[in-house]
Amino acid sequence: MKTIKKYYCLLVCFIMLGSLVSCGSNDVGEDLSIDNGKLKLSFSTENGSLVDFQDLIHDYEFLDDTGTLELPWEVNFNESQDSLTAAPANFTYSKSGPLKVILKWSGFKGETHKDFGITAEVTLDEEKALSYWKISLDGTHGKQINSVVFPKISGLKNMGEEKLAVPTWMGQILDDPREYLSQSTKDEKKMAWEYPGPLSLQCLALYNPDKVGLYTAANDTETFRKSFSFTLDKSNNLTYRMLNYPSFDKEVNLYAPSYEGVIGSFKGDWITAAEQYREWGGAQKWSLESRFEKGLNPKWLEETALWVWNRGYSENVLVPAADLKQRLGLPVNVFWHWWHGCSYDEGFPEYLPPREGKESFVQAMKTARDKDINAIVYMNSFQWGNSTESWKTENASEYAVKDINGNMRTHSYNIFTGNSLTNMCMATQFWQDKYTSLSDDVVNTYGTSGVYMDQACMNRACYDSNHNHPLGGGNYWLKNFGKLTNQIRSKFSEEKPSILAGEGGAEGWMPYLNAFLTLQVSRERYAGVSRWETIPFFQAVYHQYAITYGNYSSLVTPPYDALWPEEFRPDNLERPLDPKFNKQFLMEQARSFVWGMQPTISNYHSFLASKRKEEIDYLMDIARVRYKGLKYMLYGKFLRAPKIKIPEEELNISKLSIYAGRKGKGVTAYKKEHPLVYVGAWKADDGNIGIPLASISEKSIDLNFTINKEDYKLPSKGKVFITNKEGRELLFDFSEGDIQINYELSPREVSFIEVVPSS
C-alpha cells in the first residue's frame, strides 16, 4: 500500500461568513435552539456550529462567546483522497419537536465529493441534563475515511479549579488540565485516549466540584473502536472530540454509527459522573452477562483471600505461597510469571515445556493443589516473538496485525536483548487455535488452574484484507476475543474449575474474563509521582460485575529472568528494599482494601515474615478483615465514602519495576503527601452499608464523622458495628437524626464499620 505520511482534515475549523444557506424549516426562524429545562443547546443558522451550551439549573454557559463558529464535526481522509479546502455550499436545518434538531451539510467542492453529504441529529433527554449526538455520512463510496470526529465541542471556557477524571484502566484524575496541557512542547496541545483499550469505559468528566461539570460519553453497546480527546487552543479554551473509526469498505455508500455521542452537564465530582454512567452501563449486556453476575466464576476464585504474584521456578512461587497460606489461615492463590520455557518478553508463544521441565512442574502443581493452592500462569494474549524459530516455521507473519501501509506492528519490550514482539490478529482462526491449544495444555496437561492473558483488554486496528474482518475500524477484536475464550473454555473440565484473567479493566470483556488485573492501585511504583492521581473509576461503575485484583506492591528488589543475558544480571536480586519505603507498601495495600480489590503481594518470600514483620502482619490483617466483609468488599456496590477529616504525611515513594531490573538503574525516589487513613463505602445486597477503614499511621487517630441517612438511603433505626482483627463489636444503636461516628483507630488498624438497618 502507498505510504501515508499524514491525513488531511475536512473542514477542521472555519468561519462561515456569507456562505450560501438554505433553511429547511419555516417555523424555526433564527432560533435554532433546543431546551429541556435543564440543558439548552443553540446552533448557528449560518453553518450549524454550536453557539450556546447552557446548564440551566446552575445558570452556566460552557462556551466562550468570543470563539469562532467551528463545525461540530470533522472528517479525516487518507492522503490518497482529494482534499477539501472550502466550506460546503449548502447548510439546511430543521427541528423535530422541542428537543431535537436535524442539521445537514452538502454541496462540497470537488468531483470526488460532489455527492458527499453529512447529517447530524442532536436530541435532548426528556428528563436529564444530557444530549445525544448522532451522525451519518452519505456518498462514502470509493472513499477511505480514517476518522469521523463527532461530536466536536469547541470553545469550552475555563470553569475554574477544574479537574479531569478519565477511566484509564482503573481511573485517574488531574488537577488543572489546561495548565497541564499548556506545558506541552508539542504543536498540538492534546490529550487522547483509545476505547476499547486504555479506556475501560466510555466516559470522561471535566468539572469544577463546587460549580458545574461537563459529562462526555458514548452509548455504544457494541464496543466499536473510537477515541476521545481534549485539545487546548491559544485562547486557553478546550475542544472536546470523539473520534469514530469507520472500516475501510469502498463499496459502502453510507457511514452511520449505531451509537451516539453523549454530552451533558452535572454538579458534583468524578463519583457523580461514575454513578451516572453506571446507571447506563449496569443495564448493558456486558454487565448482565458478566461471569461474576451470572455466577460463572469458580468458588475458589471468589474465596481467594490473597494472591501471591511471584516469578520463576515452582520453588520460588508455590513454596512461598504455601508458607503464606499457612501463616494466614485463609485461601491463598498464585499469579505466576516466568514459569515458561522461553525468555520473558521475547520468546512468546514458545511457553512449553516449562523451564523446570514437565515432570517437575506437574508434580509441583499437584503438591500445591493438595494444599488447595490454585495457580494461574502467564501467557500473552496476542504477542509472538519474531526472533523465535516458530515465527518462521509456522509462518506467523501471515496472521499478524498489519497497519494501513501493510507493515506489522512490533515493539521491543525486552531491554536486555532488544528482540521484539509482534501483534497477532485476534480475528484469525490461526491465532485462536494456537492460543487455545496452549491453554488446553497448561490446564489439562500441566495442571494449572487457568491462564492470565496479558494485554487482554487491548484493541488493535488491522488492515490485512486476508484476515476476514472489516479493515481498520469496527468491533471485530473484542468479538473474536469472545470467540477465543469460548473456544478455550470448551477444553476445560467442569470437574476442575479454571479461570481466564486479563490485564486492565474493561467493560466489554466482563462476559469473557473471570478476573481483571488492575495495577493502577500502585501506579507510583511503575510510573513515579506525577500530577495524575489514581481513582477507582472502574470499580465505582462495575465492582459488582467484575472481580479486580493485583498490584505492584513489593518489599524487595526485582528478580531477573534466568533466561535473560547473564551480563545484565544485578547482584541484589529480591533483597529487602530500604525500610523507608515500607509505608508505600502499606499505602498500596490500604487502597486495595477500601477500593474493593482482592489483595496481592508481589515477590513474597518467607524471610519477609521476620525481616518485614510489621508489613506482612498488616497485609494479613487486610486479608483477614476483608474476608469478614466479603458482602461489601467483594459483592458490594460502590458508594461515596463519608467525608472525614484525615491527617496526611509525606511518604517516601519508590519507582522500581517489580519484575525487570533496568540495566544498572536503581530505585528512583520521590516524596509525596498521602492520607494516613484510607476510607471506602459499599452497599451489600441486603441493604447494609460497609465502610472500610485502613490506617497506615504508627499513631492512633480519632475519627469523627457523620453518616447522612438520606445519602445512603437508610431507615430511621438500626445498629452500628465495628469489625477488625479482634472480631465484631456493637458500637451503638441509632434512631433519629444522622449517624454520628466517633471512633479511635489504633495504629495501623484495619477495620470496617457496618450500618445495619432494623428489620
pLDDT in tens, 210-266: 999 999 999 999 999 999 999 999 999 999 999 999 998 878 999 999 999 999 999
Indicate the pairing of strand 306-311 with strand 261-266: unpaired
Indicate the pairing of strand 600-602 with strand 306-311: parallel
Range of the domain at 146: 7-13+35-281
pLDDT in tens, 399-457: 999 999 999 999 999 999 999 999 999 999 999 999 999 999 999 999 999 999 999 99
pLDDT in tens, 565-613: 999 998 889 999 999 999 999 999 999 999 999 999 999 999 999 999 9
> pLDDT band for position 625 (50/70/90)?
very high
DSSP reduced 3-state for 579 = helix
Q: Is the pLDDT confidence value at 134 over 80?
A: yes
- Of 422, 455, 477, which one is at a domain's C-terminal end? 477
**Could you count the other beta carbons within 10 Å of the beta carbon of residue 150?**
24
243 with 392, same domain?
A: no
- Examine residue 445 and state whether it is found in any structural domain, yes or no: yes
CATH label of the domain that carries residue 140: 2.70.98
pLDDT at 4: 37
Asked if 651 and 671 count as a contact pair (C-beta separation under 8 A), the reply is yes
pLDDT at 112: 74
Cell 507473519 sits on residue: 397
345 with 469, same domain?
A: yes
Lowest mean pLDDT among 480-494, 512-526, 646-660: 646-660
C-alpha cell at 303: 474465596
261 with 382, same domain?
A: no
Tell me the backbone φ, ψ of residue 656, rounded to 5 degrees: -160, 125
- Examine residue 57 and state whether it is found in any structural domain, yes or no: yes
User: What is the C-alpha to C-alpha distance for residues 86 and 145, in angstroms, rounded to an integer?
Assistant: 18
Indicate the pairing of strand 117-124 with strand 130-138: antiparallel
341 with 208, same domain?
A: no
pLDDT in tens, 1-46: 333 333 334 333 332 322 333 344 434 446 899 999 999 999 999 9
Q: Write the DSSP symbol of residue 212.
A: E
Asked if 189 and 181 count as a contact pair (C-beta separation under 8 A), the reply is yes
Q: How long a stretch of residues is the chain?
A: 759
The amino acid occupying position 233 is D
pLDDT at 250: 79
pLDDT in tens, 44-101: 999 999 999 999 999 999 999 876 789 999 999 886 555 454 468 899 999 988 999 9
Residue 448, phi-psi category: left (phi > 0), alpha (psi -120 to 50), beta (remainder): beta
- Examine residue 470 and state whether it is found in any structural domain, yes or no: yes
Residue of higher predicted confidence among 13 and 531: 531
265 with 401, same domain?
A: no
pLDDT in tens, 466-498: 999 999 999 999 999 999 999 999 999 988 999
Cell 528482540 sits on residue: 419
Q: Is 389 exposed, middle or buried (0-12, 13-18, 19+ CB in 10 A)?
A: exposed
CATH label of the domain that carries residue 714: 2.60.40.1180
Task: Please choose, from the candidates 597, 577, 620, the residue with its C-alpha nearest in 3D space to the C-alpha of residue 680.
Answer: 597
Q: Is the pLDDT confidence value at 327 over 70?
A: yes
112 with 177, same domain?
A: yes
Q: Write the DSSP symbol of residue 151.
A: E
Count up the domains in the chain and report the number. 3
pTM given for the model: 0.95
- Examine residue 536 and state whether it is found in any structural domain, yes or no: no
User: What is the C-alpha to C-alpha distance for residues 136 and 117, in angstroms, rounded to an integer?
Assistant: 8
pLDDT in tens, 726-743: 999 999 999 988 999 999
**Could you count the other beta carbons within 10 Å of the beta carbon of residue 44?**
20
Helical ranges in 420-578 per DSSP H:
429-440, 476-489, 523-527, 537-542
Reduced DSSP (H G I as helix, E B as strand, rest coil) percent helix, strand, coil of the chain, to 5: 20, 35, 45
pLDDT at 363: 98
426 with 337, same domain?
A: yes
pLDDT at 28: 41
- Examine residue 744 and state whether it is found in any structural domain, yes or no: yes
pLDDT at 143: 87
Residue 358's H or E segment, with its range, is helix 358-370
Average the pLDDT over 342-368 and give the result.
98
- Of 477, 507, 532, which one is at a domain's C-terminal end? 477
Q: Is the pLDDT confidence value at 508 over 80?
A: yes
Indicate the pairing of strand 450-454 with strand 499-503: parallel
User: What is the C-alpha to C-alpha distance for residues 431 and 453, in angstroms, rounded to an integer?
Assistant: 14
Give me the residues paired with residue 206 across strands: 164, 214
- Examine residue 567 and state whether it is found in any structural domain, yes or no: no
Average the pLDDT over 338-359 and give the result.
98
CA angle, corner 680, sides to 675 and 685, nearest 5?
175
Taken in order 482, 484, 490, 494, is the CA torsion positive or negative? negative
3-state secondary structure 717-733: CEEEEEEECCEEEEEEE
User: What is the C-alpha to C-alpha distance for residues 219 and 280, in angstroms, rounded to an integer?
Assistant: 8
- Examine residue 28 and state whether it is found in any structural domain, yes or no: no
For residue 666, how many C-alpha atoms fall within 13 Å in the half-sphere facing its CB?
6
129 with 77, same domain?
A: yes
- Of 477, 495, 516, which one is at a domain's C-terminal end? 477
Cell 476510607 sits on residue: 679
Task: Please choose, from the candidates 203, 283, 197, the residue with its C-alpha nearest in 3D space to the C-alpha of residue 242.
Answer: 203
315 with 240, same domain?
A: no
340 with 242, same domain?
A: no
- Examine residue 523 and state whether it is found in any structural domain, yes or no: no
Asked if 562 and 312 count as a contact pair (C-beta separation under 8 A), the reply is yes
220 with 317, same domain?
A: no
pLDDT at 251: 84
pLDDT at 408: 97
Q: What percent of the chain has pLDDT over 90?
A: 88
Average the pLDDT over 366-386 and give the result.
98
Give me the chain's average pLDDT, please: 93
> pLDDT band for position 209 (50/70/90)?
very high
pLDDT at 3: 39
250 with 346, same domain?
A: no
Average the pLDDT over 690-699 and give the result.
98
Task: Please choose, from the candidates 647, 639, 759, the residue with its C-alpha nearest in 3D space to the C-alpha of residue 708.
Answer: 639
